Structure 1
Amino acid sequence: MNVFQLLMKKKELIPLALIMTFAANGVSCFAVHSLKKTDLSFTFSVDRKGNPEPWEAVDPTVPQKLMTINQQWRAIEELQKAKRASK
């Protein structure tokens, strides 16, 4: 039996079908959006042709935000000494 024939035969299923269609559409749109966003450089991205290895484009002098909860970034003293010595 066709889906539309079933919905016309049992009219109480029409709101359920509309809600499920709307929810499935929202989930698929969110999934595509999550795959394409580039908030962090280490997130999975669909763009494999443009930059297949995104970790090589990370600037080591800029602190990367992975997860911060009420923390302040400050430079590591030993690392700063090593940078000054290598210049």
Structure 2
Amino acid sequence: MIRTMIQHAQKHPGLIPQFFFLFVGMGGASLYLIRLARGPHVSWDRKNNPEPWNQLSPTYQYKLVAVNTDYKSLKKQGPDF
């Protein structure tokens, strides 16, 4: 695959920046996923710790989004007929 990319880049030099940014983006995404996988509450040991969420303290703040919507205060968006 890399050999064909080099051949294309030799024939069409305008593809070199595209290949560069492609590899930089793929590398950045890979490093980001590795960083996420090594988080403080990630457990890869399933035999000794099958339910790791039970070991969290009651005050641990989960990464959730809560949206409070009061349906009575919503305004009607359609016209009255």
How many residue pairs were aligned? Answer: 61
Q: CA RMSD in A?
A: 2.5
Partner of 1:48: 45
Q: Is the helix fraction higher in 1 or 2?
A: 1
Residue 24 in 1 paired to residue 26 in 2? yes
Give CA deviations for 1:33-70 in whole Å, capped at 9, x if unaligned: 112212xx4xxx3512463311232344xx22126xxx
* Equivalent-residue separation in structure 1 for 2:57 and 2:43 (angstroms): 22
Q: 1:35 aligns with which of 15, 34, 37?
A: 37
Provide structure 2 residue ranges, at least 5 long, that are not aligned to the other structure.
Answer: 64-81
Distance 1:29 1:58 in 2: 26
After superposing on structure 2, the runs of 4+ consecutive aligned residues of structure 1 that deviate more than 2 Å are 48-52
Distance 1:46-1:2 versus aligned 2 partners, 3 A rule = farther
Q: Which has the higher contact order (CA 8 A, sep 6+)?
A: 1
* TM-score for both structures, normalised by structure 2: 0.59
- 1:47 aligned partner, one-letter code: W
Q: What TM-score do you get using the length of structure 1 for normalisation?
A: 0.56
5+ residue gaps, structure 1, are 68-87
Counting aligned pairs with the same residue, the percent is 22
1:66 partnered with 2:62? yes
